[in-house]
Structures are given as structure tokens and as C-alpha cells.
Amino acid sequence: MLEVELKKQGKISRLTNKTFQFEKELGEGFYAANYFLKSNEIVKRHAPNHIVTMQWFQRRDDSMLCGVDEAIAILHTFAIHPEELEIEALNDGDIINNMEPVLKVTGKYENFGFLESVIDGVLARRTSVATNVREVLRVAGDTPVFSMADRQDDYHTQVGDGYATYVAGITKVSTDAQGKWWGGKGMGTMPHALIQVCDGDVIKAAQIYHKTFPEEKVTALIDYNNDVVTDTLKLARVLKEDLKAVRVDTSKSLIDHYFDDKDTSGFDPHGVCKELIFALREALDKEGFNYVNIVVSSSFSPEKIKEWKKLGVPVNLYGVGTYFVNNMTCGFTGDLVMLDGKPQAKEGRANYPSTRLQKVPYPIYK
């Protein structure tokens, strides 16, 4: 069974070093801030063998922690004599608050200090993504959410972001990379490009999609001609029960042709607006296509989803991308707070007590 599945059942404590595939350059300091490398060399030459404690925290209440297992694996893989380090940590998925320590490492500074900024970045990225996903799921309630975040950032972020998305509760992702650490597989609808290749013929695109993947019912992207209601009905009449869903992805710069002869003075008709989705559901149901689901995407945030849920907009699946990964809300800081068993921290910082931290053995797998 998958390690994360086991972890969630309490059968193992953490992801292991075996889960991750790190670049060797990480251990050589390639990704470390240069002044940490210089400090490491200075300490090694002129002030070695002091035992320090470094702690990591962030400044936001009600955040979902993620990246701790990855940080531990980095320490166990690249620290010098990692078996000599004492590591205390919370768990991925824990809810944390302002100034709460999530990770403490005690050992010789010269053996792990150069990894400080790398760990800062891992914790910040993963926790921000997990927190963003959690905020969306909170307001989405029983309506599923699909992560489309693969296209919103550098592809190198997909594996770790996909894991953070999973920790927060989403298993529907776009790419296999997003599911790599927990065994998920990418899913999705046909792209606009397939319709373009079919000379703008949505029906032909859907038919050849189904012919190629006959075991799948079709989820069709339906805004290509900016005439969502008309094209959906045409497609449903042809595919019938082979049409599972349509995805509305109208650009915010456009107004769907459904509104061409209608008064839109009382609302904003641009993009994927609730009035269009209500009209689409009504049109489908009127012709007996109540089994066709509606998927929406394009600039959905917790605020917009919360409003739509309150108003009962008939959505079966939300596709969210930008909000998940381009909203870095949880920045982490690593501080030295103890020196040779005595408090030693810069003004305003201290060794914050915690009853939640757990000691992490080395190695963390057998």
C-alpha cells in the first residue's frame, strides 16, 4: 500500500527518504543562499563543534503544515553525520498558528546550517499550497475540486505541490507528476487544441476523443465558440449518455453569446458567470440531459466559490489552479535559538516551547 495511505492510517509515521529523488547539487550547496555557505565555512574553520538548536516557524494562524517530511529527508540525506542530529517535528497535515515551531534541529551548526534556506523554501511552498487548497475545500463543501495547478508554475513544482494538494484533501489532479509521491494519476478533459485541430467542430472533437478512449465517457470543453448553451445541447443530442460532463472555461474578457439578446445590466456577464451556469443547467434539464455534469474553471477563488455555494449555483466540479500555487501565504524562518545548551537568539526571538513536536529517529525507515 502507498506510504501516504499507510501514514494516514497511523501505520507509519512519515514519508521516507526513499520517497524523494533529490538532485545531488542540493547537498553541494547549489541551492543554498551564499552567505549560509560562507557562514558554514567560517564556523568550520574558526568556531567548530558548538551544539546549536535551530527552529522553524511561520506567522499565520490556521495554516496547514506541509513539507516537514521533505525537510527531514533533506536533512537525513545531505547533512553531515545526520545520525548525530536531534530532530523534533510536527507532521504534514497538522494545523499550525503564528510563531509555533514546526521543526527543531539540534547538532553542530557546520553539519546542517547550510540547509537552512532550502528548508525555509520547502516549508513555505508546501504549507502555502496545502493551506490554499484547504481554504478552497472548506467553502466548496461537498462539491469536488480538481487541481489544475500544473499550468500555473514551473513544471519542477508539480511533484511537491501535488503532494501538498493531496495532504490538504484533493486527489483529482492534472498530471502524473502531481501524484508521484502518493500514487495518484492525472485526469482531465479534452483541451481547446483538440477542437482547433477539428476546425472548431466541438462535436467531431468529442467523437474522436470517445473513439480513441471508448472506456471513458466524455468530459468536453465547451466554450471554444463562446456559445456554451447552444454547443452543449448540440453535443448532448449526439453523444447522449456518452457525455459525462461539460467544462465551462470562458475567458474573463468575453461575454458568452447566450447573452447576445438579453439584458445584462443587473450583473457582470463576463467569463464564467453564475447566470450562464444557471442557464446551462436549465437547458440541459429541459431536454432530459440531467445526467450531464457541469465543470467550471478559470479564476476561481475561495471567495467566488463561497458565493456560488451560497447561491446554489449548479456546479458538479470546480477546477482551480492559480489560487493554489500563486498565493504564497506562509513564509518560514529558521533561527538559531540555543548555543551549547544556553538560550542564544537575536532580539525578539527565543526557543519557543512546544508539546506537539515529536522526536524523529534516524533513519526514519528500515
> Is 298 in the same domain as 337?
no
Residue 181 lies in a domain: no
Give the C-alpha separation, 326 to 301, whole Å: 12
| Mean pLDDT taken over the chain | 93
Residue 261 resides in a domain? yes
162 located within any domain:
no
Q: What is the pLDDT of residues 172-202, one digit of tens each?
A: 999 999 999 999 999 877 889 999 999 999 9
The answer as to whether 161 is a domain residue is no
How many structural domains are present in the chain?
A: 2
Q: What are phi and psi of 151, to 5 degrees?
A: -90, 5
- Answer yes or no: do 302 and 279 share one domain: yes
Beta strand 317-320 pairing with 333-339: unpaired
- Looking at residue 24, its pLDDT comes to 85
Q: Is residue 314 part of a domain?
A: yes
Whether 354 and 291 map to the same domain: the answer is: no
Residue 153 has pLDDT above 50, yes or no: yes
- Model confidence at 272, in pLDDT bands (50, 70, 90)? very high
Kindly state whether residues 266 and 309 are assigned to the same domain.
yes
261 and 214 within one domain: yes
Q: Is 230 left (phi over 0), alpha (psi -120 to 50) or beta?
A: alpha
Residue 252 has pLDDT above 80, yes or no: yes
Per residue in 66-97, pLDDT (tens digit) is 999 999 999 999 999 999 999 999 999 999 99
Give the domain CATH number at 113.
3.20.140.10
Cα-Cα-Cα-Cα dihedral sign, residues 97, 99, 105, 111: positive
CATH of residue 290's domain is 3.20.20.70
CA atoms within 13 A on the CB side of 95: 4
Q: Are residues 280 and 308 in the same domain?
A: yes
Dist CA 365 CA 348 (whole Å): 37
- In this structure, the answer to whether residues 124 and 219 fall within a common structural domain is no
| Model confidence band, residue 6 (pLDDT cutoffs 50, 70, 90) | very low
Based on the fold, state whether residues 285 and 349 are members of the same structural domain: no
Residue 141 in this model has a pLDDT that exceeds 50: yes
Cα–Cα distance measured from residue 33 to residue 17, given in angstroms and rounded to the nearest whole number: 23
H runs (alpha helix) in the chain: 3-8, 24-27, 34-46, 68-78, 109-112, 116-140, 158-168, 192-197, 202-212, 228-239, 274-286, 302-311, 322-325
Same domain, 355 and 295: no
Distance (Å, whole) CA 246 – CA 266:
27
339 within domain boundaries: yes
Domain match, 349 and 226 both: no
With 80 as the cut, is the pLDDT of residue 275 above it? yes
Shared domain for 284 and 350, answered yes or no, is: no
pLDDT tier at 5, thresholds 50, 70, 90: low
Find the domain containing 49 and state its range: 3-130+330-360
* Cell of residue 355, nine digits: 508539546
| Residue 285 scores a pLDDT above 80 | yes
Determine contact, residues 50/319, Cβ cutoff 8 Å: no
Same domain for 87 and 16: yes
Per-residue pLDDT band at 19 (split at 50, 70, 90): confident
Q: Render pLDDT for 204-223 as a digit per residue (tens, 0 to 9).
A: 999 999 999 999 999 999 99
